[in-house]
Amino acid sequence: MPEMVEIAGGFDALAGKGADSVRISWDKVLEWAPEVLVIAPCGFNLQQVIPLAPRLLSYPGWSDLPAVRDGRVYAVDASSYFARPGPRVVEGTALLAHLIHPGLCKWEGSPRAFQKLELQQAF
């Protein structure tokens, strides 16, 4: 994922490029203050992610994150675009580019690849 984010024109200081994924503390997320949040649990499709996302509302400082304030929180179909090696990884990188730079990169893939999350409202 870190390499995909980099190719898409983003920067993730919390990920270890070329290393295995690791758990990070919520405090580190708050310190990083991301401008875009992509909710992509490994192996989950979009329909599995959406019902879980409201749990984030209970995290302290959630509403203070720039991504939340600016409405740039997205659930994605991680199973299809990020968790499987192959050609779909290229599409996943294009999806990230669109989510990071929507004015520069148009998404021409499936409309079911992602959903913008409005976590101030009930689903």
pLDDT at 106: 95
33: domain CATH number is 3.40.50.1980
Chain segment 57-71, per-residue pLDDT in tens: 999 999 999 999 999
Does residue 79 sit within a domain?
A: yes
Q: How far is CA 50 from the centre of its chain?
A: 12
Write out the DSSP string of 14-46.
TS-TTS------HHHHHHH--S-EEE--TT--H
pLDDT at 21: 79
pLDDT at 121: 41
pLDDT at 120: 63
Does residue 92 sit within a domain?
A: yes
Inter-residue contact 30 to 65 (CB < 8 Å):
yes
pLDDT at 83: 84
Structural domains in the chain (count): 1
Residues of the chain with pLDDT under 70: 120-123
In sequence order, the β-bridge partners of residue 76 are 114
Domain hosting residue 69, numbered range = 2-116
Q: How far apart are CA 42 and CA 78, in angstroms?
A: 6
Q: How far apart are CA 22 and CA 104, in angstroms?
A: 31
Does residue 123 sit within a domain?
A: no
Does residue 121 sit within a domain?
A: no
